[in-house]
Structure 1
Amino acid sequence: MKPLHFASGILSFAASAWACFLVLAPVATHAAEIERQGRLLLVSGMLDGSEIASFIDHLSSGTVRTVVLEDSFGGTAEAAGAFADAIRASGVETEVRGQCMAACAYAFLAGKTHRFGDGFQVNGVMLPVAARPTAAELAVRWRDDAHRTLADFTPGAAAAPKVIEASADGRGARDNWQPEHGVLFTASPSLFGRIYNAFYCDGTQGRDFSKCERLPDADPFKLGVLTP
């Protein structure tokens, strides 16, 4: 009976991890932090542009193979573009461990390959969108280059999406994207491998992602969000 107990334990752990991910406690966002670990470059915190010079220097060395984005929340569209450009130019791979929201998500997509990290943690990447995408839009939106979607949130966009408006605190429209309004792709561990899901979150759910709408037939590999 031991194998049964083991299986039950794994399933219970996976369910607990998934529940913790879906209903998150408020997270204190902090500026980006960068740490070099051999050929890995770890990035955590909010991508606000404060560490972009250091980030570019590390990538320019030619000795970084993978940028690991770990529990990164928020950031500006301009910072997302800067990190993504540096990643794309250097040809490095990207990996998400834990949660990668908003600016982090677009930096993630710029990798030569972009994957979720191994381990028992639940991984998730949230890509901001201006409106709920149709099935046809999902099929092509992130397949090639994320900078085309980023153009919705940066200067030079042909038409600003409705959700991007000047805020009461004086922030410009290009920085006023909503990191909790977008499409969330998740991977949770199970006894039989990882289970992938996709959700549309309209922003009203706050940090409780269990309130998001599940999107059927939104395989992150087929949509180009994850690479094999």
Structure 2
Amino acid sequence: MNSTATPTQNLMAKIITFLFVWCWSWHTATQAMTLERVGNDLYATGPTVSQDFLNFKHALAPGDIERLILVNGPGGDLWTGMQVARMVQSAQIKTIVSGHCMSACSLIFMAGRERAFGSGHLPRVTMVGIHGAHSKDTKTVNPAAMPQMYALYKQQMGDKFDSQVIQQALYDIQEAYGFLRIREIQRNQDKDRTPWFCPTGQTPISECSTHPGKDAFTLGVVTQLETETLTLPDSMQIKPTFFGRPLAAPSHDLQERAAAFIQNMCADQRLCKTIGGRVMQTYLASNAHKSLAVGWGKQGYGYRYGADDPGTAMLQALYQCNHARNNPKLCRLIHVNDHEVLTFYDEVQHQVPTLLQDLKVPSAVMAQQERDEPGAHTPNRLRTTHLTGMTPKALEGIRRMDTPDLTWALKQSDRPVVIDVGAAGPMIPGALNFIHGGLAFEDEKKDAAFEARFRQMLQIAAPDPHQPVVFYCASAECWLSVNAAMRAQKIGYTQIMWYRGGAAAWLQSGLPTHHRVPVAILN
């Protein structure tokens, strides 16, 4: 049975999935779980990596931990997850989830003698995510590792174990970002408690299968219906950020500046001012997660209030601003909750000329090292799944750039338009950030609609189809830039370039960056 969803719900699901994927890929290579003890409680947050085995062993050694609270665990290393799960089983402690607990984190959670959801995050984003094993490098499914996971879930779920549900979660995923998601019970309405399974990270929620009549308790995921009230350590509490950048305490009252914002959004368009004034008053009165975006170099705006979290509010406001009917445009976020964020864009705009002027072209040795890296076969179509993994060494009809090439090009007066299609981490100076800019879809109608939005944003950034345009993303294992470059070529751009090494190669060369400031979201 399939669930039904509105376009807004589909957008929200894609935003959450995309950000989860990128946050996971950006952090897992470098950061272990953060463990913090408070009395007889042990709080843990972050990705699961190999060094967590020793960290948990040390933390549980005294034998007096009563509760393990897992706070926003995106998962990670399967072996470590299983080993920590066995420690938790032996310790006979209670496990609690606050926020999301996905993949390897779910193994640790399920090892608890008693299991519950906890407060600290909004109910819609408080969930356990179960899926099958996959290769750390290629993200392809690895059925050989499934039996030990299946056995753990079966043992811990006991009489409530549903083999069909768990087999689907483990064996029916098509890539690493497919999940069975199971939300918290007490604070959610009945319709939001129903577990749902998406085989890929890009599967629209309307096409994911659901399990009516089931929930976290009836499946044996948790052993109690009630949500535990928690006071998270300060380091793990929700703090508004702007794409990874902490937000300081609000310094301005938006109410006092509302008229100026409306003038900036609408100029002399009377209808826009009238509607904008009403929107602003509603926005100001809302206490929920909210955000506001305005056109960059063009009048118009987008807004969102009542979102599940600040990040979702920002992306939805940006999307609405970008793709307003008959008024497509690049946009800048100006406000999130009670924080003004337009200053981040102004700061970056001020930094870019100096950063570009001071660029030092790396040696030819660096270029040769990048060229010597192995690569996959040259693709003949856009990739819709498995968007992480070894990229090709070359793309047909598209110039591949190495770090010295791009650095030299950016120092010229006629430098190319550079587009970052990632969603996390620092940016190359002067690049434009098109979040979701490298997606592709098997469904022809969806892909055509996406391509129309892509074309509109690209034509604004690079009006001349014969001007040089460079695409990049996180690293040489990111297919988003491959897709974006091939799509730009498909729609008629003639001087497309692809910076294969991406942000990772740029940083490895010791070159400067600036904070992320998105101007478009494509999906």
With over 3 angstroms needed to count, the CA separation of the structure-2 counterparts of 1:195 and 1:39, relative to structure 1, is: farther
With over 3 angstroms needed to count, the CA separation of the structure-2 counterparts of 1:103 and 1:190, relative to structure 1, is: closer
Counterpart CA distance in 2 for 1:49 and 1:22 is: 29
* 8 Å contact kept, 1:201–1:212: yes
* 8 Å contact kept, 1:205–1:211: no
How far residue 144 of structure 1 moved from its aligned partner, in angstroms, is: 2.3
With over 3 angstroms needed to count, the CA separation of the structure-2 counterparts of 1:185 and 1:193, relative to structure 1, is: closer
The one-letter code matched in structure 2 to 1:26 is L
Counterparts of 1:19-168 in structure 2 under 5 Å?
23-24=15-16, 26-27=19-20, 28-29=23-24, 30=27, 31-119=32-120, 121-122=122-123, 123-129=126-132, 142-145=153-156
* 8 Å contact kept, 1:94–1:108: yes
* 8 Å contact kept, 1:187–1:197: no
The one-letter code matched in structure 2 to 1:55 is F
With over 3 angstroms needed to count, the CA separation of the structure-2 counterparts of 1:120 and 1:163, relative to structure 1, is: closer
Q: TM-score, normalised by structure 1?
A: 0.65
Structure 1 residue ranges, 4+ long, deviating more than 3 angstroms after superposition: 19-23, 140-143, 160-164, 188-195, 208-212
How far residue 129 of structure 1 moved from its aligned partner, in angstroms, is: 3.5
* 8 Å contact kept, 1:48–1:79: yes
Q: Does 1:224 align with 2:220?
A: yes
Counterparts of 1:179-190 in structure 2 under 5 Å?
180-187=177-184, 190=187
- Aligned partner of 1:167 in structure 2 is none
Counterpart CA distance in 2 for 1:63 and 1:88 is: 14
With over 3 angstroms needed to count, the CA separation of the structure-2 counterparts of 1:43 and 1:22, relative to structure 1, is: farther
Structure exhibiting the larger radius of gyration computed from Cα positions: 2
Q: How many residue pairs end up in the alignment?
A: 178
With over 3 angstroms needed to count, the CA separation of the structure-2 counterparts of 1:211 and 1:73, relative to structure 1, is: farther
Which structure shows the bigger proportion of residues in helix conformation? 2
The one-letter code matched in structure 2 to 1:107 is I
* 8 Å contact kept, 1:142–1:224: no
* 8 Å contact kept, 1:40–1:68: yes
How far residue 104 of structure 1 moved from its aligned partner, in angstroms, is: 0.1
CA offsets 1:99-143 (integer angstroms, 9 cap, x no match): 011000011000011111035622111111379xxxxxxxx9935
List runs of 5+ in structure 2 lacking aligned partners.
1-7, 134-140, 142-150, 162-169, 225-523
* 8 Å contact kept, 2:181–2:197: yes
CA offsets 1:24-74 (integer angstroms, 9 cap, x no match): 152423331111111111111111121221211221212211111111112
SS at match of 1:142: helix
Counterpart CA distance in 1 for 2:190 and 2:53 is: 36
Identity %: 23
CA RMSD of aligned residues (A): 3.6
List runs of 5+ in structure 1 lacking aligned partners.
1-15, 132-139, 150-159, 165-176
Which structure shows the bigger proportion of residues in strand conformation? 1
The one-letter code matched in structure 1 to 2:178 is H
Q: TM-score, normalised by structure 2?
A: 0.30
With over 3 angstroms needed to count, the CA separation of the structure-2 counterparts of 1:104 and 1:192, relative to structure 1, is: closer
How far residue 191 of structure 1 moved from its aligned partner, in angstroms, is: 8.3
With over 3 angstroms needed to count, the CA separation of the structure-2 counterparts of 1:182 and 1:69, relative to structure 1, is: same
Q: Does 1:197 align with 2:194?
A: yes
Counterpart CA distance in 2 for 1:225 and 1:141 is: 12
**Pairing partner for 2:210 from 211, 214, 225:** 214
Counterpart CA distance in 2 for 1:97 and 1:104 is: 12
With over 3 angstroms needed to count, the CA separation of the structure-2 counterparts of 1:20 and 1:36, relative to structure 1, is: farther
* 8 Å contact kept, 2:94–2:114: yes
How far residue 20 of structure 1 moved from its aligned partner, in angstroms, is: 5.9
